[in-house]
Structure 1
Amino acid sequence: MATRAYQELRGEATRVWDAFYAMFDFRPSMHRFPAIVEPTPSVTWSLTHLDDDPTEAGLDRLTQVVRDGFASLVGEGSLLCLDWQHPCYRVWPSLVGPENLDPPGRPGWPLSPYPDGDYHIYLAEDLRFGCFGHPWESSLCVFGAELLDMVAADLHPVLRHVIRRDGRPVTA
């Protein structure tokens, strides 16, 4: 069991990124979307609706739903939080404090699922479920049956607009 809520991936980061690039055919681009081969099952929502929320309640709800889903799925285990071109982390959700409270001995999360200028990626250790935030498309792809079952019903009212399912465009 970890003694800290999260640890920076140092020497291991290259191996994790290499596995991610290979499994998802990651193609970073500011203009070509999607940047990964979105797996089946997956749902990709537009994040543009959150831009219209001056209270940030939608962003807070998105963050809570995603983090709660991961915490339920990994239990006492860990997950990977990747921030493209920045430090990345292994996180033990059961040891992380509630958002914005940071009680003594329980630090907050090191990274949001919302992509704030770079790709933000939450992944199961074995990469079988996760979410991929694309900053330039302004989208969030949630993949893996277990995670989708946990979060889709709560994410849809917050994000509203699905742009792809299983990597295929959804028509209005």
Structure 2
Amino acid sequence: MMESPVVELLETEYRRVWDRFYDEFTFRPSTSSFKWPAIKEPVASVTWSLAALDDDPEYERLDRLVEVVEQGLKSCMGRSGTLLALDWQHTSYRFAPLGVGGPGQLAWPLSPYPDGDYYIYLSEDFRTGSFGHPWEQSLCLFGQDFLDAASAEVEKLLGQPIRRSGRAIGTA
């Protein structure tokens, strides 16, 4: 059990977690569209373009998207579960989702929305989470329980996905 619901990853653990992420997801950070998607998206995954948020001047859909992702992750983590919040080349965290985001609580670290950097939420076993790609402007959710909890509402907000299980969805 953590003393605080949000704990910064220290250097040794930060490197260990990122090394594992690079290995397990074949992470290839790049601004070049030739190298997208930047991860090997898991079999149980769905990826959406974030372009639908471009015409959201009041941030209502963005706020709802953040809420849906946070609630979906909370529902998958259980009472004592923790998540990793990874910000590429910046401070990253371990946190208890049930201990943040409510009245009188600390805010969630980071956001599922990739605001200029890769933002990643991961369960400790790396099976469930989200991957926000800042240059592709996409959001990938993975883990079947998480998809069951959140994907229908995300699709209402963002439209049809661009990939399922790492495979492009045809427009024809």
With the shorter chain as reference, the TM-score category is over 0.9
Matched residue, 1:91 = 95
C-alpha deviations, 1:42-85, integer Å up to 9, x for none? 11000011111001011111111111111111122100010001
Matched residue, 1:158 = 157
Name the aligned partner's letter for residue 87 of structure 1.
T
- Equivalent-residue separation in structure 2 for 1:97 and 1:137 (angstroms): 28
The number of equivalent residue pairs is 167
> Following TM superposition, where does structure 1 have runs of at least 4 consecutive aligned residues deviating by more than 6 angstroms?
none
Matched residue, 2:9 = 9
State percent identity of aligned pairs.
54
Name the aligned partner's letter for residue 168 of structure 2.
P
Matched residue, 1:122 = 121
Name the aligned partner's letter for residue 25 of structure 1.
T
SS of the equivalent of 1:67 reads: helix
* Structure 1 residue 94: Cα displacement: 1.1
Matched residue, 2:136 = 137
Name the aligned partner's letter for residue 50 of structure 2.
L
Gaps of 5+ in 2: none
SS of the equivalent of 2:69 reads: helix
Q: State which of 38, 53, 63 in structure 2 corresponds to 1:50.
A: 53
TM-score (norm 2): 0.94
For the aligned residues, what is the CA RMSD? 1.0
Q: State which of 41, 49, 55 in structure 1 corresponds to 2:44.
A: 41
- Equivalent-residue separation in structure 2 for 1:116 and 1:71 (angstroms): 22
- Equivalent-residue separation in structure 2 for 1:154 and 1:61 (angstroms): 9
* Structure 1 residue 136: Cα displacement: 0.1
* Structure 1 residue 162: Cα displacement: 1.0
Gaps of 5+ in 1: none
